[in-house]
């Protein structure tokens, strides 16, 4: 494998709360909300291992 991606659970949670707040305020939101992911490869894999 050359690379994979790492999701960002804290960012997913943050965006979820922001969107819920908008919905509760009566606003409309986009159907799809992109959340960035990080590419993990041999150069940065050390940042993702425990």
Domain ranges (residues) in the chain: 3-48
pLDDT of residue 27: 97
Residues 1-14 have a mean pLDDT of 89
Q: Counting every residue, how long is the chain?
A: 50
Q: Is the confidence at residue 50, as pLDDT, over 70?
A: no
pLDDT of residue 25: 98
Question: Are the C-beta atoms of 5 and 39 separated by less than 8 Å?
Answer: yes
Output the six-digit token pair for 5. Answer: 């991606």
R_g (Cα) of the chain, nearest Å: 15
* pTM beyond 0.85: no
Q: Is the confidence at residue 6, as pLDDT, over 80?
A: yes
**Tens digit of each residue's pLDDT (9 = 90 or more) over 11-37:** 999 999 999 999 999 999 999 998 888
Give me the residues paired with residue 38 across strands.
6
């Amino acid at each position: 494998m050359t690379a994979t991606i790492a999701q960002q659970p804290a960012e997913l949670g943050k965006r979820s709360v922001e969107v819920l707040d908008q919905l509760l305020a009566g606003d409309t939101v986009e159907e799809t909300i992109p959340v960035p992911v990080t590419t993990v490869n041999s150069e940065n894999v050390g940042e993702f291992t425990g």
